[in-house]
């Protein structure tokens, strides 16, 4: 860490607020605008310096959904969808807080500058931020001036109009505690150490996907072999700071992300879209020995997690036949077929299995045996009984198993794209951070991708990052305002 000068700023009026928020993504800005409109003073600390500082919220595709269901569906329907997506892993109280608040939260957002509308034929796309993208490959055109980018700008404008604002270039590094209560945050800004004091502190810094040491410890032996499929600004600071003052963490081993082609690691035109989730779930996904290592039926988020856990995540392939590549490869909003090849990614082809094996470097005998076992299980109708089960769950980003032909075959080198981490700080249904003694740490809350309890688990269940950030932000802002007043 660089040495920094200490600036005695704690006594300055602008360094004091009822609520200090770390991170100006959707969670932080929602909490800030809501708390300010409820009459308490707010300061938002943001590590990014630019006007349009990088954040996953800004890069997002802007689809508000809960486990791929319409956010205005009855709460019981949404609760059941969360339980199904996470195979029962999601905490009940946190799920009910999410599903019980999402409809009013989305309406609140629409009243506070969000332009929302239908973005496609799929049922979960009824509440997308306008204008939306998801139809163009690569990062360069994905976010600038799109709905999520505009939303953050609009929330900041409303925050400023309420007399509050974002302090840019302010990276929070530690929490100030007195008698077990959190009373402020120390930040590095412009080479100085500054202190912000507050009655309540909210951590909304977006997870730890951008911290290679933490990713190595919890998610993948080779973080450098994962494609950072997002802003990469989640550095784990909130989790680290809260751990230092006695917080609990959970579910740190799972992330939300997608299956990408390996070229996405070095080519910004190939992420965040197109993704290969549907293709990978229709294929067999194998390692360099030609063996399957994961249940493709759990869908792309789960496959991406399994790829990341491999000793060499870049030595993985989706193996399928040309017919499946022509059908599954051409599905979803921005189909990978032919986009990835048009942008220079490798797709190995072979008229038969041995040619494909020679071209891709996969061992022919082992690949043939894997495929034969897989096809037999699919034909017999019981692929879930395989040593590495292949379950059958028809889902938005997955496919039912089909026999894969050994003629006209395709092998696509894969890469795991990591968007945000699903685990983190344990919170209660009011977003209060829970300590190792099982009780809330006074004055400390957390929201959005830095929290645990809703997503992940053995099925790497994905519930929806924007919905989580929005509801947490709203609930945390209201809770802080209620306590301060
Ligand atoms: C390409 C892409 C597409 C997506 N599409 C969707 C979608 O369609 N639907 C959906 O539900 N989800 C989507 N997501 C996920 C969603 O964007 C995130 O889950 C959500 O925005 C997280 O919000 P957040 O406020 O918790 O974190 P973030 O948006 O990551 O904000 C955290 C902020 O904290 C700042 N920060 C970090 N450390 C510090 C520190 N120490 N001090 C001060 N500031 C700090 C960061 O700079 C950042 O601005 C997508 C994500 C990406 C990248």
State if residue 152 touches ligand 1 by the CB under 6 angstroms criterion: no
Q: What is the mean pLDDT of residues 179-186?
A: 97
* More confident call, 228 vs 5: 228
Q: How close is the Cα of 234 to the center of ligand 1, in Å?
A: 8
Q: Output the pLDDT for position 240.
A: 98
Q: How close is the Cα of 61 to the center of ligand 1, in Å?
A: 11
State if residue 25 touches ligand 1 by the CB under 6 angstroms criterion: yes
Q: Output the pLDDT for position 13.
A: 56
Q: Output the pLDDT for position 119.
A: 84
Closest residue by CA, ligand 1 atom 37: 205
Q: What is the mean pLDDT of residues 290-318?
A: 97
Q: Output the pLDDT for position 274.
A: 95
What whole-number distance in Å separates Cα of residue 83 and Cα of residue 131? 31
Q: Output the pLDDT for position 394.
A: 58
Closest residue by CA, ligand 1 atom 16: 465
State if residue 417 touches ligand 1 by the CB under 6 angstroms criterion: no
Please tell me whether residue 291 adopts helix, strand or coil conformation.
coil
Q: What is the mean pLDDT of residues 106-118?
A: 96
State if residue 424 touches ligand 1 by the CB under 6 angstroms criterion: no
State if residue 236 touches ligand 1 by the CB under 6 angstroms criterion: no
Q: Output the pLDDT for position 268.
A: 95
Q: How close is the Cα of 422 to the center of ligand 1, in Å?
A: 12
For residue 230, which atom of ligand 1 is closest to its CA?
53
What average pLDDT is seen over the chain? Answer: 94
Q: How close is the Cα of 56 to the center of ligand 1, in Å?
A: 3
Do 414 and 262 meet the contact criterion of CB atoms below 8 Å apart? yes
In testing the pocket of ligand 1, which one of 205, 238, 257 has its CB within 8 Å of the most ligand atoms? 205
Count of C-beta atoms within a 10 Å radius of residue 121: 7
Q: Output the pLDDT for position 399.
A: 80
Q: Which pLDDT tens digit goes with each residue over 425-476?
A: 999 999 999 999 999 999 999 999 999 999 999 999 999 999 999 999 999 9
Closest residue by CA, ligand 1 atom 15: 465
Q: Which pLDDT tens digit goes with each residue over 223-271?
A: 999 999 999 999 999 999 999 999 999 999 999 999 999 999 999 999 9
pLDDT band at 10, cuts 50/70/90?
Answer: very low
Do 238 and 398 meet the contact criterion of CB atoms below 8 Å apart? no
* More confident call, 72 vs 398: 72
pLDDT band at 121, cuts 50/70/90?
Answer: confident
Do 414 and 259 meet the contact criterion of CB atoms below 8 Å apart? yes
What whole-number distance in Å separates Cα of residue 416 and Cα of residue 226? 5
What whole-number distance in Å separates Cα of residue 108 and Cα of residue 111? 5
Q: At what angle do helices 364-380 and 353-360 cross, to 10 degrees?
A: 130
| The pLDDT of residue 287 is above 60 | yes
| The pLDDT of residue 8 is above 60 | no
| The pLDDT of residue 210 is above 90 | yes
Q: What is the mean pLDDT of residues 29-42?
A: 98
Q: How close is the Cα of 231 to the center of ligand 1, in Å?
A: 8
Please tell me whether residue 481 adopts helix, strand or coil conformation.
helix
| The pLDDT of residue 122 is above 60 | yes
For residue 272, which atom of ligand 1 is closest to its CA?
1
Q: Output the pLDDT for position 372.
A: 98
pLDDT band at 18, cuts 50/70/90?
Answer: very high
Q: Output the pLDDT for position 396.
A: 65
Phi/psi of residue 420, nearest 5 degrees: -150, 155
* Nearest alpha-carbon partner for 24 in 165, 122, 160, 161: 165
In testing the pocket of ligand 1, which one of 139, 204, 206 has its CB within 8 Å of the most ligand atoms? 206
Q: Output the pLDDT for position 408.
A: 98
Q: How close is the Cα of 423 to the center of ligand 1, in Å?
A: 14
* Nearest alpha-carbon partner for 300 in 70, 461, 413: 461
State if residue 464 touches ligand 1 by the CB under 6 angstroms criterion: yes
* Terminal-residue alpha carbon distance, the chain: 38
| The pLDDT of residue 176 is above 50 | yes
What are the distances in angstroms from CA 253 to CA 150, 161, 163, 367, 452?
Answer: 32, 40, 40, 29, 11
| The pLDDT of residue 395 is above 70 | no
pLDDT band at 12, cuts 50/70/90?
Answer: low
Q: How close is the Cα of 456 to the center of ligand 1, in Å?
A: 17
State if residue 446 touches ligand 1 by the CB under 6 angstroms criterion: no
State if residue 219 touches ligand 1 by the CB under 6 angstroms criterion: no
């Amino acid at each position: 860490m660089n040495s920094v000068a200490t600036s005695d700023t704690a006594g300055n009026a602008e360094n004091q607020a009822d609520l200090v928020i770390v991170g100006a993504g959707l969670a932080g800005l929602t909490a800030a605008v809501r708390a300010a409109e409820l009459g308490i003073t707010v300061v938002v600390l943001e590590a990014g310096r630019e006007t349009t500082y990088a954040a996953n919220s800004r890069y997002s595709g802007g689809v508000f959904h809960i486990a791929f269901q319409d956010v205005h569906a009855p709460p019981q329907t949404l609760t059941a969808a969360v339980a199904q997506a996470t195979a029962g892993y999601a905490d009940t109280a946190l799920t009910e807080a999410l599903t019980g608040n999402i409809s009013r939260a989305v309406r609140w957002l629409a009243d506070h500058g969000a332009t929302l509308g239908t973005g496609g034929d799929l049922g979960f796309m009824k509440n997308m931020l306008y204008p939306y993208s998801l139809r163009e490959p690569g990062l360069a055109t994905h976010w600038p001036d799109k709905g999520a980018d505009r939303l953050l700008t609009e929330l900041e404008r409303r925050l400023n109009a309420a007399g509050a604002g974002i302090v840019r270039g302010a990276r929070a590094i530690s929490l100030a505690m007195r008698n077990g209560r959190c009373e402020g945050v120390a930040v590095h800004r412009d080479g100085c150490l500054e202190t912000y004091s507050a009655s309540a502190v909210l951590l909304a810094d977006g997870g730890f996907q951008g911290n290679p040491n933490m990713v190595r410890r919890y998610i993948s032996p080779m973080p450098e072999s994962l494609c950072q499929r997002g802003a990469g600004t989640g550095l784990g600071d909130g989790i680290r700071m809260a751990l230092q003052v006695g917080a609990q963490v959970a579910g740190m081993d799972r992330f939300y992300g997608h299956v990408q082609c390996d070229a996405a690691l070095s080519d910004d035109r190939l992420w965040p879209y197109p993704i290969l989730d549907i293709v990978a779930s229709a294929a067999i996904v194998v390692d360099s020995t030609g063996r399957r290592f994961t249940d493709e039926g759990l869908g792309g988020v789960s496959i991406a997690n399994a790829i990341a856990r491999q000793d060499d995540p870049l030595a993985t392939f989706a193996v399928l036949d040309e017919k499946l590549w022509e059908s599954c490869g051409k599905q979803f909003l921005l189909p990978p077929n032919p986009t990835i090849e048009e942008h220079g990614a490798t797709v190995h082809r072979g008229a038969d299995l041995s040619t494909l094996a020679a071209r891709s470097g996969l061992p022919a005998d082992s690949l043939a045996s894997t495929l034969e076992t897989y096809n037999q299980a699919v034909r017999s109708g019981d692929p879930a009984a395989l040593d590495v089960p292949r379950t059958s769950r028809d889902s938005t980003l997955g496919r039912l198993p089909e026999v894969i032909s050994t003629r006209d075959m395709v092998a696509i080198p894969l890469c795991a794209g990591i968007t945000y981490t699903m685990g983190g700080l344990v919170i209660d249904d009011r977003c209060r951070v829970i300590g190792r003694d099982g009780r809330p740490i006074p004055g400390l809350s957390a929201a959005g991708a830095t929290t645990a309890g809703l997503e992940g688990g053995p099925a790497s269940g994905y519930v929806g990052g924007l919905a989580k950030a929005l509801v947490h932000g709203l609930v945390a802002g209201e809770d802080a305002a209620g306590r301060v007043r």
